[in-house]
């Protein structure tokens, strides 16, 4: 029996069924950082999480933290269309078509001039941040259309709205996410929405990679998730095509 089948069987055997007030939220890149913090915050608010990552030990750790069999955590690589297709199959099998998708999985290149970034590193950024987002949209938008509703959040960045020195590949990927989101917004049927969301500056491994120790002065992912979760849950079909930002997250920095 494959890992996917085992996970699906475990989930289907669970007697805990989300209430009508609960929403099903698919988050990519849940092993750490913003994805993990958002998954925990939303789960604590009573929502059902579908999470994916390539890091099985961290998925196992998150499963223990979630402390409920409601949730589906799946080892998937968003860069692989086949892997995302398998995730979609398991989601349908378990009648867990998401109400909300957060395309969060992303990587950043090491700080250097564009001409010093090797081909493999450049491709990794584009394949994860752009193609990975497209793979999720390809397989999950049709499922949402069948349900006649759905909100999609494509995680962007201030780097998707400004040019920033030494991370040109990352900037290019996030500009692509902005353009992809606005274009897909014009293709969605009424009742659905896709938005590009800049999370702001948060103390994550990615920010440390870019700015070093100065990242420590920014909000932790756990504190950020409090405000981000509320913003995401409040999104409506009328927000379709918007480019949004989690504004002033530092206001949450005090206990």
Known catalytic residues? 170
Chain-centre distance of CA 171, in angstroms?
A: 18
**Strand 72-75's sheet: what is its strand order?**
72-75, 48-53, 24-28, 100-103, 150-155, 192-198, 243-245
The C-alpha atoms of residue 36 and residue 229 are separated, in whole angstroms, by 12
Give the closest residue to 141 by CA, choosing from 239, 95, 25, 149.
149
- Sign for the CA dihedral angle at 97, 135, 35, 74 comes to positive
Task: Give the burial class of 32: count Cβ atoms within 10 A of its Cβ; 0-12 exposed, 13-18 middle, 19 or more buried.
Answer: middle
């Amino acid at each position: 029996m494959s890992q996917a089948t085992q996970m699906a069987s475990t989930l289907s055997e669970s007697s805990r069924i989300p209430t009508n007030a609960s929403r099903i939220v698919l988050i990519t890149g849940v092993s750490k950082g913003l994805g993990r913090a958002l998954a925990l915050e939303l789960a604590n608010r009573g929502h059902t999480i579908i999470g994916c990552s390539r890091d099985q030990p961290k998925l196992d750790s998150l499963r223990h933290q979630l402390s409920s069999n409601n949730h589906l955590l799946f080892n998937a690589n968003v860069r692989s269309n086949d892997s995302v297709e398998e995730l979609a199959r398991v989601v349908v099998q378990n009648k867990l078509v998401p109400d909300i998708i957060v395309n969060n999985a992303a990587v950043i290149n090491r700080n250097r001039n564009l001409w010093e970034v090797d081909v493999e590193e450049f491709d990794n950024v584009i394949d994860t941040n752009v193609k990975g987002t497209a793979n999720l949209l390809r397989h999950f938008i049709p499922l949402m259309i069948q349900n006649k509703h759905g909100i999609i959040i494509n995680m962007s960045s201030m780097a998707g709205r400004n040019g920033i020195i030494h991370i040109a590949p990352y900037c290019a990927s996030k500009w692509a996410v902005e353009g992809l989101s606005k274009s897909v917004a014009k293709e969605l049927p009424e009742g659905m929405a896709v938005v590009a969301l800049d999370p702001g500056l948060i103390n994550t491994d990615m920010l440390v990679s870019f700015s070093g120790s100065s990242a420590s002065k920014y909000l932790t992912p756990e504190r950020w998730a409090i405000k981000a979760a509320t913003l995401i849950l409040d999104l409506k079909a009328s927000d379709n095509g918007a480019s949004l930002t989690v504004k002033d997250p530092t206001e949450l920095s005090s206990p």
